[in-house]
Structures are given as C-alpha cells and as structure tokens.
Amino acid sequence: MTEPLILAVDLGTSGMKVALIGVSGKVLGWETESVRLIHTADGGVEQIPDEWWNGFLSAAKRLIAKNQASASLIRAVCCSTQGEGTIPVDRDGKALSNCILWMDMRGAGPLKKQLAGWINIDGADLVKVLRFIRLTGGMPNLGGKDPAGHMLWIRDNQPEIYAKTHKFLNVLDYMNLRLTGECAASFDSIVTSWVTDNRDPNALHYNEGLISSLGLDRAKFPEIIACSSVVGNLKADVAGALGLSTDVKVVAGSIDNTAAAIGSGAVQDFQPHLYIGTSSWIAAHVPFKKTDIGSSLASIPCAVPDRYLLTALQATAGGNLTFLRDNIIYHKDELLQEADVPDIFKVLDKITARVPAGANGVIYTPWIWGERAPVEDKTLRAGLYNLSLNNTREDIIRAFLEGIAFNTKWLMAPVEKFLGRKVHSLNIVGGGAQSDVWCQIFADVMDLEIKQVEEPVYANARGAAWIGAVGLGEIKFGDVPKLVHYRRAYAPDQTHRRLYDERFDVFRSIYRQMKGVYKRLNR
C-alpha cells in the first residue's frame, strides 16, 4: 500500500480498538484492548481514563509492529469515541477523577434542582427548556446521563474536584489532550454539555445564558473546533513510544454516532444508517436544525459542514446480548467455545436460524437500562413475555434479536416524521450488523431494505479515518459514498409481514400496560 494511512481509534464502552486505515477505507490491521466498567456503591458508572490511554498505547504498538513496512505512511491519528462522558482535568492535563459515563444517572437530582422553576416540564423550568431547545436543539437529559448532569454532580458532591478543575472534557477531548497536549472540544463532543448556540452548524459558540442556567463556570469549558480540524501534532513522547514522526497530525475526530454516520457511507441528506452496538441509534444528515420534543429526537452539529445529524438514540441494543451471554446462556455448548464478542454472532446466527419467525410466541422488551427514544423513561426495564414449558433457550435467543428489532421499528415512525419522508433503505453497521440472521430480522420486522456495510464492525474506525483524511485534505466528505462497499442487501420476507405486524402491536401494548408498573418499581 502506498496511499496515506490514518491511525484510527475507536474507543467504545466495551473497549479500545485501534486500526490502520488507508484514505480509501481499506483496513490493514486492527488491535483491541478491553476496558473495565466500574459500578460504584452510589449507583455511578465509570471508567478510568488511564486505562483508555494504556489500552491505546498497547494496541497501537502491536498494530504498528505488525505493519512496520507501512508505518512511514501514517499521516494522522483520528479518534471516534463514546460520547456523553465527563472527565475533569487540572492545568497539567491530569484527570482528577474517573470518567463519569453516559450510563451514569447520579446527576439527575442536582440537574433537576438547578433547572427547577415556577412552571416545570418533568422537573425543569419551562422558560429554560425553551431556551435550551431554541439555541441547542435539545436540552440536558433529566435522567442525569449527559455531561450537564455529570458536571453538576461533581460541583455538588465533589466540590474539591470541581475547584481544581481546569477544564471539563468529553471522552474524545481527553484522548486528543493526551495525544497533543491541547484542550479542545469538537462540534459534536461539546453538544451534550448543552452550553452552546448551535444555530449556525459551522460556527458553534458558547452561550453565557445557558452556562448561567446550569450554574457552571465558563472558564472550565475548552475551545471548540470542527471535527475535521487539526488539533495539533503528535506529542514527542507519544510519537517516540509509537515509533512515529512528530509530523503526524491529530485531527479532532468525533463521537461514535457522528463517526458511524460517515463510516456507514450515509453522508447524503436524509439517508439514514442504523448502528447496532452496546447501544443503538438511527441517524441521518439533514440540512436543518430541528427538535421533536415528544419523541426525544433532535438534529445536532456533526462532522459534515453545513449539516446537522438527526440522532435517534436508544439506550441498549447489543448490550442486551452481552447480558444474555454473560448472565443467562453461559453453558457448555457452542456459546462456551465462542465467548468472544466478535464471534458470538456466528453462534447466534446458527441458533436463531433454528427457530421460526416469532420465536414460538416469546416476546422480549429490550429496555434493560431504561429508554431514551421514542420515549424518555429511565424506569423502563427489560422483560420476557409469554414463556411456557414448551419454550427453549433457543426461542429466548431469537426473541432477544426480534425484540431489539421491534424497538427499532418503534423508533422509525418518529424518524420518518422528522425527515418528512418514508425510509425505504437503511445502511447497517456496528457489531450487531455482523449477524446475517439479525440483518434479515431487521428487514422483516421493519419492512424495508437493510444494506449490510462490508466489515460493519469497522464503521466507527473507518469513519474516524475518513474524518482524518478530510482534515488532511486527502478527500472530501462527498467522496465517501464512492468508497463504501456493501456485503449484502436484505429484502423483507413478505411471508412474515402479518406475524411481525401483530407482534409489534403486542410489543407496544406491553409498553403501555407496563410503564406504570416499572415506574412504581424503579422510581
């Protein structure tokens, strides 16, 4: 290979992945390191930033060593990371605490206390809510899951850390700080702090009124730059550790849903993609800023100039399969031999294919960590329904896959309303897109074409690589669709149409009848 290479980083909740990718999208190599998830005694969910960094160095060193002949072609490092994490750092760039993750809801109380007023919507003052939506397109997650709530929790519960904080950084920003020594936030990493005026997608800037509403210090926020901007050169100590030149650029990159949108090839207006990972989402680039409060949908700043990204996020998708594997079906059979996440889909395909559509009557609701869209309800929980003595573990496995597909179909109606048009085709990426059977289930349940992107597990890394290539001036975002390849297209099987439509009605009925029960149990 002679084309320029990008060292692409994909840091998700489950681990660190590092890939060498050409500007054409060709993946030369891929290395991974697992990352611990820490559940604290007070209900927090955290990760240790040093473990991300050590995982990056370890994986990148192995990757470069295996591709030594191509190392001289590396021109940039560019990251895609999980979003909505919060790390306070001091003036020396040292993390003052663990990262508070997107699953952490400890900020709900401080946030509602901060935003309360005379006339409230779910605990937030109506006037403040309208200001947030007008300027940002959304508002702080009242469940406390985003940086707005995280920062307030630190302010109120760890005042000594808040006082020492020089900057609050998202996960992406922290990785770029370690790579370059520079503090900066990208257009998309800063969004869920809910302190920026986003009405011009090319010129985000802080709004003093929003910062004041949240009771936070303006000085604790970093500079904002575009996703394809160069943050700086690789630090000398990092370059030395990896055996790279200090001329290697670090491009700002993006959070995972922005990178996946690029890596899926869906960069044209109104073209959606479906990502199935630990969480899931449907996203599409649009030429307008818009908010659907009722369905928790909004278009927010992204990597593509002059565009916003509609992001319809659901709390857990593949996370349900991880739970299923680790807590229910870890028995001495095929699954024991195929315990690694990349391989589990091969086994699930084999098992699921043995069960007819409809899972012999079993229905699964995948709200294992609450839900975000099309309803915002942190009290919802997962459930298996209609189990009988006639059912088997195989039925449960298929019901998990179908339940996640039903949940995605539930999301599609407000997405189509938001886009103002019918969706006929979805590009699918992420770890779950490796499953051929699951792709067919999505097509059948949603009654639309599912286009399985080639090597879908690389979508985030490939998206980061292409953002990096744009930052270097090697390509333009408009070139991306020509660079994407598809493994297969799945057309819906019409013989399953009536069955799945009936089961989908039952799925929605379960929500309507059970939401009150979940609220009583989990408030």
What's the pLDDT tens digit per position in 112-129?
Answer: 999 999 998 888 999 999
Q: Which residues constitute the domain of residue 222?
A: 86-169+189-226
CB 521 within 8 A of CB 380: no
Structural domain contains residue 445: no
Q: How confident is the model at residue 345 (pLDDT cuts 50, 70, 90)?
A: confident
Structural domain contains residue 244: no
CB 338 within 8 A of CB 349: no
Instruction: Look over the chain and give the mean of its residue pLDDT values, rounded to a whole number.
Output: 93
Stretch (H or E) spanning 197: strand 196-197
C-alpha to C-alpha distance for 150 and 47, rounded to whole angstroms: 14
C-alpha to C-alpha distance for 509 and 501, rounded to whole angstroms: 12
pLDDT tens-place string over residues 487-522: 999 999 999 999 999 999 999 999 999 999 999 999
User: Is pLDDT of 334 > 60?
Assistant: no
User: Is pLDDT of 327 > 70?
Assistant: no
Structural domain contains residue 206: yes
Q: Which residues are CB-neighbours of 53 under 8 A, at least 6 positions away? A: 175, 178
Report the CATH number at residue 203: 3.30.420.40
**The pLDDT of residue 164:** 98
**The pLDDT of residue 296:** 81
Q: How confident is the model at residue 280 (pLDDT cuts 50, 70, 90)?
A: confident
Structural domain contains residue 474: no
- When divided into structural domains, the chain yields a total of 1
Q: How confident is the model at residue 372 (pLDDT cuts 50, 70, 90)?
A: confident
**The pLDDT of residue 343:** 65
Structural domain contains residue 27: no
Please compute the mean of the pLDDT values over residues 340-362 and round it to a whole number.
Answer: 84
More confident residue, 143 or 445: 445
Residue positions counted in the chain? 523
Q: DSSP alpha helices (H): ranges in 193-340?
A: 208-214, 236-242, 256-263, 318-327, 334-337
| Choice among 58-62, 165-169, 275-279, 412-416 with the minimum mean pLDDT | 275-279
Q: How confident is the model at residue 1 (pLDDT cuts 50, 70, 90)?
A: low
Please compute the mean of the pLDDT values over residues 355-374 and round it to a whole number.
Answer: 93
Structural domain contains residue 164: yes
Q: How confident is the model at residue 315 (pLDDT cuts 50, 70, 90)?
A: low
Please compute the mean of the pLDDT values over residues 304-314 and round it to a whole number.
Answer: 90
Q: How confident is the model at residue 336 (pLDDT cuts 50, 70, 90)?
A: very low
**The pLDDT of residue 279:** 75
Please compute the mean of the pLDDT values over residues 156-170 and round it to a whole number.
Answer: 98
Closest CA to 436 of 504, 346, 351: 346
Q: How confident is the model at residue 250 (pLDDT cuts 50, 70, 90)?
A: very high
C-alpha to C-alpha distance for 105 and 365, rounded to whole angstroms: 21
Work out the number of other CB atoms within 10 angstroms of the CB of residue 358: 17
**The pLDDT of residue 314:** 72
C-alpha to C-alpha distance for 73 and 64, rounded to whole angstroms: 11
Work out the number of other CB atoms within 10 angstroms of the CB of residue 465: 35
Q: For residue 197, with 0-12 CB atoms within 10 Å meaning exposed, 13-18 middle and 19 or more buried, which class applies?
A: middle
Q: What are phi and psi of 272, to 5 degrees?
A: -90, 160
Per cent of the chain over pLDDT 70 is 94
Please compute the mean of the pLDDT values over residues 86-96 and round it to a whole number.
Answer: 98
Structural domain contains residue 113: yes
**The pLDDT of residue 444:** 98
More confident residue, 341 or 392: 392
Please compute the mean of the pLDDT values over residues 31-44 and round it to a whole number.
Answer: 94
Strand, coil or helix: what is 458? Answer: helix
**The pLDDT of residue 293:** 85
Structural domain contains residue 25: no
Q: Which residues are CB-neighbours of 190 under 8 A, at least 6 positions away? A: 170, 196, 204, 221, 222, 224
Alpha-carbon 454 to chain mean position: 20
C-alpha to C-alpha distance for 143 and 158, rounded to whole angstroms: 19
